[in-house]
Structure 1
């Protein structure tokens, strides 16, 4: 179970009859159900997820083994993973976040800037959180074609042209 992609998370109980509140990270949120069975991060648990109805910020869903509010609450925070083979292929200029994490980031002159630590999205474009080379500081790089002209998954590297002010001033 090494090729899993996070497609959602259980946010807790919804009601008192074992229904779950589920957040989907899929481009088409309802698609999370079609990737069932879903897995826990370590692949030790399998979930046959069925969406019941849309609710604010996600879906009310059911998993057969979950019968009570307490069972549902016990799963709060559980990330849900699908096997990569179940997911659709992506166009050349789109990437699964899991594929970007860990890639080395170089500037257009070939200088190592750091490594992608996380991919964040706070409502606008995605942001790559970079662990800067040579220290423990991080910074956020907009994941746009202008700021990140090249992503080469095969070689495990990204070429970036960070906007002014994204990188710390080396003179400081």
Structure 2
């Protein structure tokens, strides 16, 4: 993919304790994936420690955050890394960021709209497509629904295209 925009790996949901730790909502493959990166947001945050919490997220400490007030000030901050810092993927894999903004077309050539979101409600990824008229529809990210994609377009089976 040619898009080099930053990739969001987590978001700070608030402070934890009084010593500057923060709670993280994780996106991606958990703490192990986050630990692979030492700095976030173009080097403005340096990871010092991270551990799981009992709510499915993580508790982290950053070198630059020294107290609860500094931790609270980071609420809603997303932790990003450069796209090229992520490992290359096999042919059938993708990063959500690679799909966002792609033109969606049916396998019969009909323009469907633009990929505006990628969600996962537990079973598999679901692609949300915004039509030019503002209406949206969703399709599962399966081989039956999504025939192919590249860095310019996502081809959807006509059986799943909301017409």
> TM above 0.5, one fold?
yes
Give the whole-Å Cα distance in 1 for the aligned partners of 2:120 and 2:48. Answer: 26
Q: Look up the SS of the partner of 1:49 in the other structure.
A: strand
Give the whole-Å Cα distance in 1 for the aligned partners of 2:29 and 2:90. Answer: 13
1:10-52 deviation digits (Å, cap 9, x = unpaired): 111111211011122232432212122111xxx5x61112333
Runs of 4 or more above 3 Å deviation: none
1:86-145 deviation digits (Å, cap 9, x = unpaired): 211111111111110110111110100111011111222111111113x01111111111
Aligned 8 A contact 2:117 2:129 in 1: yes
- 1:149 paired to 2:147: yes
- 1:18 paired to 2:20: yes
- What residue number does 2:70 align with? 71
Give the whole-Å Cα distance in 2 for the aligned partners of 1:81 and 1:162. Answer: 36
**Matches for 1:1-150 after TM superposition, within 5 Å:** 3-39=5-41, 43=42, 46-55=44-53, 56-133=55-132, 135-150=133-148
What's the TM-score once normalised by structure 2's chain length? 0.88
Gap change, CA 1:132 and 1:59, over 3 Å in 2: same
Give the whole-Å Cα distance in 2 for the aligned partners of 1:162 and 1:139. Answer: 13
Give the whole-Å Cα distance in 2 for the aligned partners of 1:79 and 1:141. Answer: 27
Aligned 8 A contact 2:107 2:158 in 1: no
Shift of 1:3: 3.4
> How many pairs are equivalent?
159
What's the TM-score once normalised by structure 1's chain length? 0.84
Instruction: Give the RMSD, CA atoms, in angstroms.
Output: 1.8
- 1:167 paired to 2:162: yes
Q: Look up the SS of the partner of 1:8 in the other structure.
A: strand
Give the whole-Å Cα distance in 1 for the aligned partners of 2:94 and 2:78. Answer: 19
